[in-house]
Amino acid sequence: MKLIEKIRGQFSGLGDSFLRFPVTAILSFTLIGLLIVQNERNIQGIYETETLRRLAMVTAIGMLLSISLKHLQERFWPDKPALLITALPALAVMVLYYLFYTEEMNMTSAMRFVGTLLILIIAIFYTLKLKHKENYEHYVVRVFNGLFITILYSGVLYFGISAIIFTINALFDAEIDGKWFFYFFLMVTFVFGALMFLSKLPRKEETFEEHLYSKALKVLLLYIVIPLITIYTGILYVYFIKILVTQEWPRGLVSNLVLWYSVVSAAVIFFITPILHENQVARLFRTWFPRILLPILAMMFVSIGKRISQYGVTENRYLVVLLGIWVLAAMLYFIIRKELNNIFLPVSLSVFALIAVFGPLSAFSVSDFSQNQRFTALLEKNSMLVSGEVVPGTEVSEEDRKNISSIVSYYESRDMDKISYLDDDFEYSDFERTFGFQREDYYGSPDMEYINLFTDQNESASEVSGFDYLFMLNNYTESVTFQEMKVELNDMTSLKITLKDELILEENLNDEILAIIEEHQGQMEKGMLSQEDAIILLENEKISVKVMLLELSARRESGDELKFDHLRISLLIDVK
């Protein structure tokens, strides 16, 4: 009975969490709908889902932001209308983000989106405690505990649902589409999981004055984590001494190793703060470790500084430096302050993250400026810049060729509009003509050829008379069924068509696609192919099929062998 009561207690409050956080719950449910609709359109071969993607992004941002806004309302304006204070600012932020930061989807926009989510997640851990900071560490432990319980229960629920679907398919040949695994995952996460996590968030009335420190957490930190950190510190100091003796400065990997170890150490000091008065090990670690860490941080800054001087600033290097500065500030705070007010840590981390994601000092702006400076210097060094125009180089060293190639690759994955001297429509195929040498990247196979093909979508019509069915397929679609006909595209290019459970056509399109590429590659402008050149005709005694290539991405690594990354086709079918 006690076990049942405990389980029932974990589920209690789901309805109350909706009443306490209505905006968050509504946005969470909305996000499910947007993701399901987007996936359904992709399955149907409809890829014009940019608006859905942008709406899903801002809905996720609004969902997390609304939690902190509700916390602020409860803490500072408890008598004001909660719905107004929560909904209006969240809506304003969503609209602004939609207009200014979701128009293009590239690495920069993806990193900014993830960074924004991290800022909002961190904010959940302190917005309710900004005015009353007592027992803050206990509050954070409580939030983490609620998150752990939510993940555990949601995982068990999803595993059970998945097992049921699998069993029904296995025993009854039900052929329940695999998409339902994804849809139930969304429902478990954003309905059950969201409401359960919200129900576990503490209320402002809770003081945690009688909250007992977890024995399991105490043992974990004092007798497992701190000894491991101590050993790790010794290893880093031995390596530091080796550097001083050999004068060989550390490689790039060291910066990341030092950084994450330092962040974990700061978190350990945060969590042992409530037991400093009662435990000698905790006091020794809190007193001496920040001082011991300072030389190691200095080594990290020297290491990343050398990388930046060689290859310029990128977002990753920027974040290493910025997070390193935050760790340094945290350690100095631990050294200077006798009585710790640890809410300083997440608040300052949010500020640093905000600087990294938005504004003129963001990782994107600083990296763009640095890489353009390198690009200009390399072009001028090799006399490839004349009157603001790039001219082909004649005697460019291998190192400079690799550096120029890597800078162009950097902007291709982000925004080619930002690179200096090159046209906005610069393509991979333009590289040798523009720079006078073949592209040489630091990573990947030098013999790799990338092929991207698109059918001209401006040709808005095609002949469909004489055909009975039209199907749209892509490599993510397991199968499409209409009436008694089923069309499958397996292993990228293996086409299979069945009618009334009878196989009437099976064909591998690999050779036909290769023939189209070989025949028209020199005629394609920026990967664009006319409809009439993108057609494959298949026929037997039972069926005639007209296949049209719509989109194709592939790599050619050796000879005529193609490795497909993406394929989208349309099929017109006539049953004889």
Which pairs with CB-CB distance under 8 Å and at least 24 residues apart come from 395-403? 396/435, 396/436, 396/437, 398/440, 401/437, 401/440, 402/440, 402/441, 402/442, 403/311, 403/374, 403/378
Nearest to 209 by CA among 281, 301, 137: 137
pLDDT of amino acid 445: 43
Instruction: Specify the amino acid at residue 493.
Output: T
Mean pLDDT of the chain: 87
pLDDT digits (tens, 9 = 90+) for 317-362: 999 999 999 999 999 999 998 888 899 999 999 999 999 999 999 9
Q: DSSP state, 223?
A: I
Give the confidence band of 484 by pLDDT, cuts at 50, 70, 90: confident
Taking residues 197-219, report their average pLDDT: 86
Residues 514-564 have pLDDT tens digits of 888 877 765 555 557 777 888 999 999 989 999 988 888 777 655 556 777
β-sheet bridge partners, residue 455: 529
47-51, 291-295, 419-423, range with greatest mean pLDDT: 291-295
Look up residue 390 and give its DSSP letter.
E
Q: In this predicted structure, what is the pLDDT of residue 196? A: 95
The Cα angle at residue 554 between residues 549 and 557, in degrees rounded to 5? 145
- Rounded percentage of the chain residues whose pLDDT exceeds 90: 51
- Helix or strand (DSSP H, E) at 183: helix 179-187
Helices vs. strands in the chain: H and E counts, helices first = 19, 12
511 or 44, which is more confident?
Answer: 511
Contacts of 359 (CB under 8 A, 6+ apart): 365
CA proximity to 87, closest of 102, 113, 67: 67
Q: What is the pLDDT of residues 52-73, one digit of tens each?
A: 999 999 999 999 999 999 999 9
In terms of average pLDDT, the best of 31-35, 108-112, 417-421 is 31-35
What is the pLDDT confidence band of residue 459, given thresholds at 50, 70 and 90? Answer: very low
Phi, psi of 422 (to 5 degrees): -105, 150
Share of the chain above pLDDT 70, in %: 90
Is residue 258 pLDDT above 60, yes or no? yes
Position 114 confidence tier, pLDDT thresholds 50, 70, 90:
very high
> Is the entire prediction scored with pTM above 0.85?
no
For the segment 171-186, what is each residue's pLDDT rounded down to a tens digit? 888 888 888 999 999 9
Mean local confidence (pLDDT), 107-122: 94
pLDDT value for 446 = 41
Contact 184, 18 (CB under 8 A): no
